[in-house]
Chains A and B, each alone.
Chain A
Amino acid sequence: MDVNTDLAMWSNQLIVSAMIVYAIAMIAYAFDLFGGRELKQSEVATAESKPLRVRRTTRTATAVLDAPEGGTGDSAATGGSTAEGGSAANRGSGANGGSGHSDGEAERPRRAARVGTSLLVLAALLHVGAVLTRALSVTRVPWGNMMEYILTATAITVVVFLIVITRKDVRYLGTFVAGGVLLSLGLSITVFYTPAAQLIPALQSYWIAIHVPIAILSTALLYISAILAVLQILKARYEDRAPAWLRFTKRLPASTDIERVSYTIAAVGFITWTFTLIAGAIWAEVAWSRYWGWDSKEIWTFVVWVVYAAYLHARATRGWSPTKVAVLNLIGIASVIFNFTVVNVYFNGLHSYSGL
């Protein structure tokens, strides 16, 4: 069970290459979201909102907010915003007139987003290559320490994202996915860098192939859900008050739509997190003679679970606005990140596998 240092070196090279491509992808996506000409609402309103929007009675949202915007918009974008205001009003009021399909702009390809996605695919290939070479260099699962955990978690985040955009156009997330992955990878090869090596005895169990990847998947899902929650809050604020600094959110779907996607992903994440917790408990029994012992990692896994449980309940509770619910989602991801970083590195406990 030796370590193939050549492959491990290749893996490090691939991480750096992937990071470069992620950086460019992030910029391309940022252009799509923040830069260039003003987009039409109709462009953004893709497949998901094509059918006339039907508002659920429980969550009635704002409808005709864009009307004043059209009037007060700065002169450069007046043409765009009035058209947009019109189409949004159409959508909101549920009228049956053609909503924006007569606009020449509607068919304008989002070139920057396409470039971003292509680059993201390339970066993902390099990234997966890095994961595979790392795994092969040590002939075991590539999540034996924090660096490898981040490496794999970010790869899965990107793959999940790429799968999601084939089904639903959430490319507006691209900036934050590429950016978050870039930042995490940067941390993984600096502060969390761990040379390729075999596992410590405590990790030598088939449970590492069950418990950890599901934990990784949960982290990826909850992260994506949290980004959506942030965008939902911003969009809701724009729908409410339309501050100028949030004009980019015009390119996003309605906050209720974002909220729904965010919720669905968080719900899946909650299930996988529950599985992580249960599998972890079973593994704990095998390794430490008890399935639950309030070890610091167990405590925080429990805290995360309870926070997301609260999130799911809050969503079904009257009196909790979507924004407040989204804040719970953000508290959830904050505790996930805390659980991974601070608890792993600074807290005493049985889960000290950071490799640092």
Chain B
Amino acid sequence: MSTLERLQSIAQNPARVAERWKADGGKVLGYRCLYLPEEIIWAAGMLPYPLYGTPEPVGLADAYFQSCTCEFIRNLFDHALSDRLAFLDGLALSNTCDVVRRLYDMWSRHVPATPVYLVNNPQKLLGEANRDYFMEELRRFRARMEEIAGREITDDGLRDAIALHNRTRALLRELYALREQDPPPLTGAEALEICMAVTVLPADHADGLLTELLAELRGRQVEPSDGPRILVTGSMLDHPALIRMVEEEGGVVVIDDLCNTSRTFWHRVEDDPDPLTALYRFLNSRALCACMHPVEARIEHVLELVDTYRVDAAIDFNLKYCHPFLYEAPLLKERLEAEDIPVTVLEVGHDLSGHGQLRTRIQAFIEMVSV
């Protein structure tokens, strides 16, 4: 089995990684989304485990969340209610959207076996007016993680965790740099699976695999394609089906800007004598999700990606009911179109239903931009 295939198989069943870690006597700390540092969890000796959903229709969670709320969150809550997340020793959420805040509420009431913690991060980033506040939130998060892990998090431990995670981020940046090539040596669907696998793996283990993977991909022979180079953006896609669909219809997905792919590793933690300050600066610089402010930072970032990856067209996969991205879509579209980048905004469900209709729209879009 090639390294790529190994990573793909992990992405198909990420829970196996957590269960194995658990079987070896470790603790697993689930989390979502971008605005809490996995370094703190790692430095507490726990496995930071980002939660991914499964493309199934919502079930049990429908008794707690209205049907017009985020399907991804409802799907995660389904997992929790049906004991599929029983391996978690805790869940940490960051303050992103209204529905995540309510997930915190519902989780604390109805999943008492798994303690849930909210890192109440500010939503207004970049400026340092939030510094004292955010630092205190991070100190509290650190203390809570120490409690759950039952051990102290030392500054040295944090520094090591930062160095380790920075290495993983650098390797993923290297991987993504390969996609600047024409044709790129890996598909967009593969890149998504690699990201999913790497984010659930223990960081020290992921690094080795990524190094092997890079060597493997550098030697890979790929057929040239004259399809348009596509940027995929949106909140999260935790299944490769949609990106695969774009590629089946002739698009070449050269870059993705998603909460579970490039946003997780685009920035690195810069050095600071105080590791917590370093983490604060890192999180505060990452205004890449539409939940955060200022949105211009995110739009500029997308425009840079368009430039670096020589993008011909963009697809905005908007998860249904994902408000931050729904509001932002017209703004982003306008800015990209001003740069002569055609954009299509597609509202997509979290399960795989409705894909037939999406295929027709993707087909039409690719045809339009290929002319």
Q: Do A and B bind each other?
A: no
Residue numbers of B with Cβ under 8 A of A are none
Residue numbers of A with Cβ under 8 A of B are none
